[in-house]
Chain A
Amino acid sequence: MSKVLKKSLLLSIILIIGLVFIAACGNTQDNNVQEKEKAPENKQVEEKKEVDFPKRNINISIPFGAGGGTDQVGRILAGLAEKNSGVNWVCTNDIGGAGALAMGNIAKSTPDGYNLLFITSNISVLKHMGHTELNYENFEPIIAVNTDPAALIVRSDSGWNTLEDFIAAAKEKRLKVQTGAAGGLWQVGALAMKNALNLDLNIIPSGTGGAPAAPALLGKQVDAIAIAPNEALSGLKTGEFKVLVSLGRDRSALGPDAPTMVELGYPDITAQAVRAFYAPKGTPPEVVKKLHDMLKAAVESKEYPEYMESTGSTVNYMNTEDLVKYLEWEFEAYKKLLAFAGL
C-alpha cells in the first residue's frame, strides 16, 4: 500500500504546487495595473512612437463564443484591418459572464493600444445588473461599427398586421413571447415593452442568445419572439415571419414597414445592440485615433457592408466622439429601461 499511496500523495502535492504557481501567474494582470499607473511618465516617449504604431500584433478580446454574431463581425473587421496595418490582428474568445469577464481583463491590461475589447451594448447593461463594476467610463471608446435592434416578430399566418392587433390578442389571452438570453438586452427590452404597453405576456428567455427563438416560433411553440431580426433571417426573407414593431432607434432593415416604439410614443423603450471597439482607460489619444482610422478603413471597405447586408445586419459607423456621446445616452437609457422591465 505504502508505495502507491506515497506516490499519489507526492503527485497531489506537486499538482497543488502547480496550482499555486498558476494562480500566481494570474496575478500578472495586477502588475499591469501598476504599470498603468506608471504610464503617464512614459507618455512623452509614447507620443514620439505614435508614428510607428502598431509595431506588433494587436489582440482583440471577443467576450462571446467562436462563431456567434459578435465573433463573426469582429473577425471580419480584424481581417480587413490587418490588410492596411502591417501587423496581425489576433481575435481571442474570452467567454464568460455575458462579457463581464473580458471587460475585466481588458480594463486591467496595459493601455498601449495592443489590447482591445469588441463588445455589444452589454457594456451599458452589466453594471446596472450588478454583474461588474465597470462601464464605458473605464475604457477609451474607439469606434462603433454596427447596430442591431430588437424587434417583435410574429408568424405571417397569425393574422396580426400591426402592434394594435397584437395588443388586442394579448388582452384576450396570455400570449407566449420567447426572447434572448436571461438578463440580456433582448429580454430586458421585451419586459420593458410589456410593461409600457401594460400587457400580460409570458416572456420566456432562451438559453444562448436569440437564435433558439426562431425555430420555436416556426414550430408554433410560442406566439411571438422578441429578438434581433437578423437572428430570424430565413423566416423574414421567405415571408413566413414579419416584424410588428422595432425596438431600435431606427426601423429594422428586415421590416422597413414596421414602426419603432419611439414612433408610437414610447421614447424610453429602446433596446438595440451597438457593437464597438474599446481600449483600456489611459490609452494615448494618438493611438486611439490611429486605431480608429484603421478600423474606419475596414468599415468602409467593400466587403464589410456586403457581409452585413447579407446577414440582415445594419452598418452604423460612429467616430470616437459620437460614440462617447451615444454611450452617455445609452448608459442612462438602459438604466431607465431596466427600471421599466422591473429588473
Chain B
Amino acid sequence: MNPDILAGFSLAFTPEALILCLLGMFFGIIVGAIPGLTATMAIAILTPFTFSLSAINGLMMLTGIYIGGIYGGSISAVLLNIPGTPSALMTALDGNPMAVRGEAGRALGLATVSSFFGGMFGVCVLLTVAPFLARFALKFGAAEYFALCCFGLSVVAALSQGSLVRGFISAGLGLFVVCIGMDPIIGVPRFTYGSQELFAGISYIPIMIGLFGIAEVLTQLTTKEMQGVTATQKIGRLWPTLKDIKVIWKVVLRSAGIGTFIGALPGAGGAIGSILGYNEAKRISKYPEKFGTGIPEGIAAPESANNSAIGGAFIPLLTLGIPGDAITAILIGAFMIHNLTPGPLLYRDNPEIIYALYFGLLVAHLYLIILGMSCAKVFAKAITVPKNLLMPIISLFCIVGSFAYANRLFDVMVMLIFGVIGYYMRKNQFPIAPMILGIVLGPIFELNLRIALQLAEGDILQLFTRPISAVLWIILLLMFIAPKIKNKSLKDIAVND
C-alpha cells in the first residue's frame, strides 16, 4: 500500500481527530438548523480557534461543521417549513407537507439517508476524477454561469403550483428586491433614495427568514388550530422503508451527480445544486404533479444534491487551490495557517494531508448518518411542542438569526417586513419559493450576464455560441420543447386511431 495513504490513515484516525470531527458535526447540525446562522458563519468564527490544533485535527473539525451545517438546514426546513440554510430551500417544499401529515420521522429519515448517500457520492468523485473535473470546471466562464442561472430560473415554472402568472410575479418581485443596493458592475447606487442602509444592500438571509419564518408564524397564528393548546403530531418511524429506498435511489444518484458537478464550479454551490436537482427529479418523474405535496423524491433530490456539492467544492480547492464555494474559501485560511497551500503543490509536498482529509470526509459522513438519525429523533419532538410555545420560540430565532447575519438592526426590519409580505402572499395563493429563487439567483444572474457581455464586447450572440454554453442552451430548449412534442405526437396518434 502507498505509504502516504497509511500516513494519512494514521493522521485521521487518532482519538483527538475523531472526537473533534464529531464535535464539529454536532455543532454544525445545530447551527445549520437555526435559520440565519449558516455553516459559513460557524466556520469563519471557529477557524481561528483551530489554528492551535494540528493541521489535520483542525481540518477534521471544520469538515464536520461543514457537513453538519449543510445537513442541519434540512431539519428546520422539514419540521418548521423554515430552511435553516439557503441550500435547504427546496427541502421544505416536500419535507414540510410530509411532516405536517404526521410523518416527520420519515421525512427526516429520508433527508438524512439522502444526504449521506449524496455526500458519499461527492467524496467518491473527489477521490477518483477530481483533477479532470476541476480542469473542465475552469472552462465555465460568465456566459456558462449565465446559462446555468437560466436553468435555475426555469425552475420557477415547476414551483408555481396552479398559477404560472402568480409564480412569475413572485419571481419577478424577488429579482427586483435584489436590485436594491450597489450596482455590481459600475458601483453606483440603485433604488436607494439616498438611504445609507439601502445602499448597503438587502441581503437574502433576512428576506428568506422573514418570508418563511415570520410568515409561517403569522399563518399559524390566524389558523384555528392555534387556539387549541397543543398541536401534537406523530413523528412516525425514522428509517426509510425498503419501498422508499426503491423509489428514491435513482433520484439520489442523479441529484448527487448534478450536485457534485455544480459544487465543483467555482461560481456555484449547494443552493443552486439543490434547485437543479429538485427540478430534474420533477421533470423526469412519472407524476410531476405530486411534487410539493410531500413525496419522498422531493426530499431526496435536493438533500442528495446539496450534500454532494460538499465533495464537489473540495475538487477545485485541492486540485487547483481555488475554492468551490464560500466555505471552502474560508478553509483555505485553515490550510495556510499550517503552511499548507491547497493546490497541485499540496499533492506533491504533503500528500498525507490530502489522504487524511479524504479519510476525514468519509468518517464525517459516517457520523452524519449516526448523529443525524439520533438528532432527528430529538429534533422531531420540536413539532410536538404546543404551538403557543413553539411560535414565540421561532419568532425569537428569526429575529436573532436575521440580526446575527450582518449585525444590522436594519436586517431585522427587512425580515419583519418580508414576513408580512410573505403572509399576504400565502393568503392570496402566491407561491413563495419562486421569490426566494429570484433572490438567490438574481445577483449571480445579473453579474454573469453583464460580465459575459463585457467580455464579448457587447456581442450578445457570444452568450450562446461558446461551445459549453451552446450545449447548455440546447438542453434548456429541449427541456421546454420535448414535453410539448411528446404531447402532440400522442395526440396525433390518438387522432389517427
Q: Report whether B40 and A174 are in contact in the complex, using a CB–CB cutoff of 8 Å.
A: no
Q: Give chain B nearest CB distance to A133 CB in angstroms.
A: 10
Complex interface: chain A residues within 8 A of B327 (CB): 67
Determine the distance from Cα of A326 to Cα of B345 in the docked complex, in whole angstroms: 38
Complex interface: chain A residues within 8 A of B185 (CB): 182, 205
Which of the candidate stretches A3-11, A109-117, A281-289 sits at the interface with the other chain? A3-11
Determine the distance from Cα of A26 to Cα of B330 in the docked complex, in whole angstroms: 32
Q: Give chain A nearest CB distance to B194 CB in angstroms.
A: 11
Q: Give chain B nearest CB distance to A210 CB in angstroms.
A: 12
Most buried by A among B266, B321, B341, B420: B321
Pick the residue among B140, B267, B423, B455 that contacts A176 (CB under 8 A).
Answer: B455
Determine the distance from Cα of A223 to Cα of B327 in the docked complex, in whole angstroms: 28
Q: Given the interface contacts A22-B409, A94-B407, A96-B408, does A237 sit within 8 Å of B345 by beta carbon?
A: yes
Q: Report whether A94 and B336 are in contact in the complex, using a CB–CB cutoff of 8 Å.
A: no
A66-84 interface (Cβ within 8 A of B): 66-68, 71-72, 75-76, 79
Q: Report whether A8 and B222 are in contact in the complex, using a CB–CB cutoff of 8 Å.
A: yes
A212-254 interface (Cβ within 8 A of B): 212, 214-216, 218-219, 221-222, 233-235, 237-238
Chain A residue nearest to B343 in the complex (CB):
A234
Q: Bits for B329-349, please: 1 = Cβ < 8 Å to A, else 0.
A: 110010011110111110000
Q: Given the interface contacts A174-B457, A215-B322, A218-B320, does A205 sit within 8 Å of B420 by beta carbon?
A: no
Pick the residue among B41, B47, B139, B417 that contacts A219 (CB under 8 A).
Answer: B139
Q: Report whether B336 and A66 are in contact in the complex, using a CB–CB cutoff of 8 Å.
A: no
Complex interface: chain A residues within 8 A of B218 (CB): 8, 11
Pick the residue among A15, A214, A215, A222 that contacts B455 (CB under 8 A).
Answer: A222
Pick the residue among B142, B266, B321 that contacts A234 (CB under 8 A).
Answer: B321
A94-108 interface (Cβ within 8 A of B): 94-98, 100-101, 104
Q: Give chain B nearest CB distance to A146 CB in angstroms.
A: 14
Pick the residue among B321, B406, B409, B444 that contacts A93 (CB under 8 A).
Answer: B406
Q: Bits for A22-45, please: 1 = Cβ < 8 Å to B, else 0.
A: 110110000000000000000000
Determine the distance from Cα of A206 to Cα of B420 in the docked complex, in whole angstroms: 35
B288 at the interface (CB under 8 A from A): no
Q: Report whether A66 and B40 are in contact in the complex, using a CB–CB cutoff of 8 Å.
A: yes
Complex interface: chain B residues within 8 A of A182 (CB): 182-187
A18 at the interface (CB under 8 A from B): yes
Q: Report whether A67 and B457 are in contact in the complex, using a CB–CB cutoff of 8 Å.
A: no
Q: Report whether B187 and A67 are in contact in the complex, using a CB–CB cutoff of 8 Å.
A: no
Chain A residue nearest to B49 in the complex (CB):
A79
Q: Report whether B141 and A234 are in contact in the complex, using a CB–CB cutoff of 8 Å.
A: no
A198 at the interface (CB under 8 A from B): no
Complex interface: chain B residues within 8 A of A2 (CB): none
Complex interface: chain B residues within 8 A of A214 (CB): 322
Determine the distance from Cα of A92 to Cα of B403 in the docked complex, in whole angstroms: 11
Determine the distance from Cα of A342 to Cα of B444 in the docked complex, in whole angstroms: 27
A183 at the interface (CB under 8 A from B): yes
Q: Report whether A233 and B138 are in contact in the complex, using a CB–CB cutoff of 8 Å.
A: no
Complex interface: chain A residues within 8 A of B417 (CB): 19
- Number of contact residues on B: which range applies? 35 or more
B454 at the interface (CB under 8 A from A): yes
Complex interface: chain A residues within 8 A of B454 (CB): 202, 204
Q: Give chain B nearest CB distance to A311 CB in angstroms.
A: 5
A51 at the interface (CB under 8 A from B): no
Chain A residue nearest to B201 in the complex (CB):
A96
- Secondary structure call for the A interface: helix
A131 at the interface (CB under 8 A from B): yes
A266 at the interface (CB under 8 A from B): no
Complex interface: chain A residues within 8 A of B221 (CB): 7, 11
Q: Report whether B138 and A183 are in contact in the complex, using a CB–CB cutoff of 8 Å.
A: no
Determine the distance from Cα of A18 to Cα of B338 in the docked complex, in whole angstroms: 48
Determine the distance from Cα of A210 to Cα of B248 in the docked complex, in whole angstroms: 41
Q: Bits for A289-306, please: 1 = Cβ < 8 Å to B, else 0.
A: 000000000000001001
Q: Give chain B nearest CB distance to A73 CB in angstroms.
A: 10
User: How many contacting A-B pairs (Cβ < 8 A)?
Assistant: 170
Determine the distance from Cα of A303 to Cα of B338 in the docked complex, in whole angstroms: 10
Q: Give chain A nearest CB distance to B472 CB in angstroms.
A: 16
Q: Given the interface contacts A15-B419, A237-B345, A307-B337, does A211 sit within 8 Å of B187 by beta carbon?
A: no
B199 at the interface (CB under 8 A from A): yes
Q: Give chain A nearest CB distance to B251 CB in angstroms.
A: 31
Q: Report whether A207 and B47 are in contact in the complex, using a CB–CB cutoff of 8 Å.
A: no
Q: Give chain B nearest CB distance to A145 CB in angstroms.
A: 15
Determine the distance from Cα of A129 to Cα of B196 in the docked complex, in whole angstroms: 14
Complex interface: chain B residues within 8 A of A76 (CB): 48, 51
B275 at the interface (CB under 8 A from A): no
Determine the distance from Cα of A235 to Cα of B140 in the docked complex, in whole angstroms: 18
Q: Report whether A215 and B406 are in contact in the complex, using a CB–CB cutoff of 8 Å.
A: no
Q: Bits for B172-195, please: 1 = Cβ < 8 Å to A, else 0.
A: 000000000011111100000000
Determine the distance from Cα of A211 to Cα of B326 in the docked complex, in whole angstroms: 11
A162 at the interface (CB under 8 A from B): no
Pick the residue among B199, B344, B412, B427 that contacts A97 (CB under 8 A).
Answer: B199
Q: Given the interface contacts A8-B423, A26-B409, A211-B329, does A204 sit within 8 Å of B451 by beta carbon?
A: yes
Q: Report whether B336 and A307 are in contact in the complex, using a CB–CB cutoff of 8 Å.
A: yes
Chain A residue nearest to B187 in the complex (CB):
A183
B316 at the interface (CB under 8 A from A): yes
Determine the distance from Cα of A94 to Cα of B404 in the docked complex, in whole angstroms: 10
B369 at the interface (CB under 8 A from A): no
Pick the residue among A97, A184, A207 that contacts B196 (CB under 8 A).
Answer: A97
A-B contact pairs, 28 of them (CB 8 A): A7-B221, A7-B222, A19-B417, A22-B416, A67-B47, A67-B326, A67-B333, A94-B408, A95-B408, A97-B199, A97-B200, A131-B199, A202-B455, A205-B184, A205-B185, A206-B451, A207-B184, A207-B444, A212-B267, A214-B322, A215-B267, A216-B141, A219-B140, A234-B320, A234-B341, A235-B343, A306-B337, A307-B337
A-B pairs, top 10 by smallest CB distance, nearest first, are: A234-B321, A96-B200, A183-B187, A66-B44, A219-B138, A234-B343, A67-B330, A182-B187, A67-B44, A221-B141
Binding site for A on B (CB under 8 A): 40-41, 43-45, 47-48, 51, 138-142, 182-187, 196-197, 199-201, 203, 218, 221-222, 266-267, 316, 320-323, 326-327, 329-330, 333, 336-339, 341-345, 406-410, 412-413, 416-417, 419-420, 423, 427, 443-444, 447, 451, 454-455, 457
Beyond A67-B43, A72-B47, 8 additional pairs, beta carbon < 8 A: A15-B419, A26-B410, A76-B51, A96-B199, A182-B186, A183-B182, A212-B267, A235-B343
